[in-house]
Structure 1
Amino acid sequence: MSTEDNKRSVIVGIFVFLAIVILVTGIFTLAGQQKRFINTITLQAVFDDVGGLKPGNNVWFSGVKIGTVKAIDLFGESQVLVTIGIEERAQQFIHENAIARISSESFIGNKNIVIEGGTQEASLVEDGDRIRAVNPIDTDELMETLQVNNRNLAAITTDLRQLTNNLLEGEGTVGALLTDEGLANDFQATLNNLQQASQNTIGATRELSRFTSKLNTPGGLANEVLTDTTAFSQVKRSLAQLEQATTSAATLTENLQEVSGRLNNENNAVNVLLSDEEFARNLQSTLQNLETSTQKFDENMEALQSNFLFRGFFRRRAKEEARQREAELERLEEQREEVQ
């Protein structure tokens, strides 16, 4: 064998050796990613739809990769049985009431399984156990919903643009308010009036508070009426008396009206006295005659007192009247002393 052949054989051997090293490294790398050389346990979950999940996809727990999907098989009538392998070190965190959920690494990325560990009260899972599965979100339904939302958003944007155009053109009440200076001034004046009314209300409230505080001041009339039962009783009696007086006044008014009606009767003597002029003249003449007769009677009495025949009678009568007056004065004096 020549030197050239030996050199070629060495080069080929080197390349073969490098290829073997690369192959072994790749095998170990892939095996490490697939957890081929790590002790695992097998769990199962039944889904209605796996949504594109494939064997070899990852299994995650709290953001940590703990295993891979081993197999996907049809189960029952229309369900899918998914077998997963997880590391034994993760077994201590997964309980029998754990939940397996299909998720995505990104919006359009590979599918994976996310396990929620369950509650501490439940027992830990064992090799071959079946955990509860939650069906994944339907991507097609999600896209359809997004499309509907996009159409609604486009409609809202169109309406908003039309609304802003109307506002800028001064259409409608708000548009007129934005463009009409007179209307804006009126609106500002209205706001000022409302502000003034609010201030007046605040002032009235303050005055009312001050007034009520005065009512609550001890010793005041209102406070005495509101708190003193005796004063309240007196006020109540006064109101009752006032009501009685009002009733009496009403009765008196009715009586006066009745008397007035009787006075207006033509057959009544008083009405004749008030309205008949001839009767009034006769009555006046009669009164004048009575007055003249009284004067003449007084003159005759004075003449009788001067007459010696009747002088003794009048003197005895005067003495008797004097004694009666003195007795009355003494009685009044005794009563005054008793009172003192």
Structure 2
Amino acid sequence: MSTESNKRSVVVGIFVLLGVLIFVAGVFVLGGQQKRFTKSIRIMAVFSDVAGLKAGNNVWFSGVKIGTIKRVKFFGTNQVEVDMDIEQSAQSYIRKDAQATISSDGLIGNKIVQIFGGTPKAGPVEENDRLKTQEALSSDKVLETLQENNQNLLRVTNDFKALVGNIRRGKGTVGAVLTDSVVANNFKLAMENLQKASLNTVKVTGSVSAFAAKLNTKGSLANELVTDTTVFRRLSRTASRLENAAGSAEKTVSTLNLTSENVNRASEKLNNTNSPLGVLLTDQETATNLRTTLRNLNKGTELLNEDLKAAQSNFLLRGFFKKKAKEESKRKADSTTVVQPQP
């Protein structure tokens, strides 16, 4: 009996020892997960909605677990303050201007607090500091957004369906092009013309390139016109001279126009029967009288010559005419006398 009792005592002791070991290991494991055995500091954050966050949930920073939620309590009128225990080893990496938000551990996992941001200019967080918060996008809002997107997609699908139906019925420009052969042919012709225009554009571009190459060829007139300032000045002076010549030509034309106007006016006066010249050129009776007058003057001149000859024969005037004849002969002799040069 004693042997069996001892065996039972040994077995019970072994089980008790294993239980104690398991209990201690569990305490250490849970304590390690809850950061019970590491030095930590406490910081806070105030949220409008914690979305089911509770004490014991984790705190993450840059994808690394650095602490746990110590307490969740109401703050102010309708806000919630979250106390977090942060490992002291992560304190130097979290800045005072960092922000905290509510997130999920996976797609449908527990709620966590995620700390992000911060600038090197700000110092590290200290005990009882309160971080700024950023409201997280809740699952309800995500579902609302998805529902709205689904409705918009449904509207777009219906509109596209109606558009395809109108095209199949030949409505609109696209439908007419796809269903009406005349419109399709016109569209093909337009495309052919567009292709020809494109080819012409390519040719023009090639011509412009060739002309530009000629401009860049040294020694050519085009290159000198573009690059040589002396040729440009000469052309400028030539252009100025041409402008002056054009101005002179305009003045000459103006003078000729004025002369032509004067000739026209003189012609009008000659054709005017009220002017003396006009009467002489156009009036036949006046011309006849003028001819008669000239004939009478000729006859009077002949008679006067005969009278002068008769007067020369008159003994009273004979001495006068002889004296005049001698003076005339002497004047002619003096004019014909040649002066001899002295030796």
Structure 1 distance, partners of 2:24, 2:4, is 30
The 1:13–1:135 alpha-carbon spacing in structure 2 relative to 1, beyond 3 Å, is: same
Residue 82 of structure 1 and its aligned partner are, at CA, apart by 0.8
Is 2:251 the partner of 1:244?
yes
- Contact 1:50–1:136 (CA<8 Å) still a contact in 2? no
Structure 2 distance, partners of 1:26, 1:235, is 112
The 1:164–1:2 alpha-carbon spacing in structure 2 relative to 1, beyond 3 Å, is: farther
Q: Which amino acid aligns with 2:241?
A: Q
Is 2:191 the partner of 1:191?
yes
- Quote the residue 1:210 is aligned against: 211
- SS state at 1:216 partner: helix
- Contact 1:50–1:102 (CA<8 Å) still a contact in 2? yes
Q: What per-residue deviation string (whole Å, max 9, x for no partner) do you get for residues 87-141 of structure 1?
A: 1211121122222222223444322111125222222222222222223234433
The 1:238–1:123 alpha-carbon spacing in structure 2 relative to 1, beyond 3 Å, is: same
Q: Which amino acid aligns with 1:43?
A: I
- Quote the residue 1:98 is aligned against: 98
Structure 2 distance, partners of 1:274, 1:224, is 64
Q: Which amino acid aligns with 2:135?
A: N
- Name stretches of at least 5 consecutive residues in structure 2 with no aligned partner: 300-324, 339-343
Q: Which amino acid aligns with 2:244?
A: R
Matches within 5 A, 1:114-193: 114-116=114-116, 118-193=118-193
The 1:69–1:196 alpha-carbon spacing in structure 2 relative to 1, beyond 3 Å, is: same
- Quote the residue 1:33 is aligned against: 33
Structure 1 distance, partners of 2:156, 2:136, is 31
- Contact 1:101–1:133 (CA<8 Å) still a contact in 2? yes
User: Sequence identity, in percent?
Assistant: 44
Residue 161 of structure 1 and its aligned partner are, at CA, apart by 1.9
Structure 1 distance, partners of 2:106, 2:251, is 95
Structure 1 distance, partners of 2:176, 2:113, is 60
- SS state at 1:69 partner: strand
The 1:67–1:217 alpha-carbon spacing in structure 2 relative to 1, beyond 3 Å, is: closer
Residue 262 of structure 1 and its aligned partner are, at CA, apart by 3.3
Pick one of 248, 259, 266 that aligns with 1:259: 266
- Report which stretch shifted further, 174-183 or 2-11: 2-11
* TM-score, L = length of structure 2: 0.69
Residue 226 of structure 1 and its aligned partner are, at CA, apart by 4.6
Structure 2 distance, partners of 1:208, 1:60, is 66
The 1:225–1:278 alpha-carbon spacing in structure 2 relative to 1, beyond 3 Å, is: farther
Matches within 5 A, 1:48-59: 48-59=48-59
Structure 2 distance, partners of 1:74, 1:252, is 114
- Quote the residue 2:313 is aligned against: none
- Contact 2:102–2:112 (CA<8 Å) still a contact in 1? yes
Residue 271 of structure 1 and its aligned partner are, at CA, apart by 5.2
The 1:178–1:83 alpha-carbon spacing in structure 2 relative to 1, beyond 3 Å, is: same
Structure 1 distance, partners of 2:289, 2:199, is 77
Q: What per-residue deviation string (whole Å, max 9, x for no partner) do you get for residues 22-60 of structure 1?
A: 444433332222222222221111222222211111111
Structure 2 distance, partners of 1:196, 1:266, is 74
- Contact 1:225–1:232 (CA<8 Å) still a contact in 2? no
- Contact 2:94–2:118 (CA<8 Å) still a contact in 1? yes
Structure 1 distance, partners of 2:208, 2:115, is 70
Structure 1 distance, partners of 2:16, 2:271, is 154
- Contact 1:61–1:114 (CA<8 Å) still a contact in 2? yes
- Contact 2:224–2:231 (CA<8 Å) still a contact in 1? no
- Contact 1:99–1:115 (CA<8 Å) still a contact in 2? yes
The 1:9–1:201 alpha-carbon spacing in structure 2 relative to 1, beyond 3 Å, is: same
Structure 1 distance, partners of 2:56, 2:146, is 31
- Contact 2:271–2:282 (CA<8 Å) still a contact in 1? no
The 1:235–1:116 alpha-carbon spacing in structure 2 relative to 1, beyond 3 Å, is: same
* TM-score, L = length of structure 1: 0.69
- Name stretches of at least 5 consecutive residues in structure 1 with no aligned partner: 294-309, 324-340
Q: What per-residue deviation string (whole Å, max 9, x for no partner) do you get for residues 261-314 of structure 1?
A: 43443434565566667778x59988xx8xxx9xxxxxxxxxxxxxxxx9xx9x
Structure 2 distance, partners of 1:109, 1:283, is 143
Q: Which amino acid aligns with 1:251?
A: L
- SS state at 2:130 partner: coil
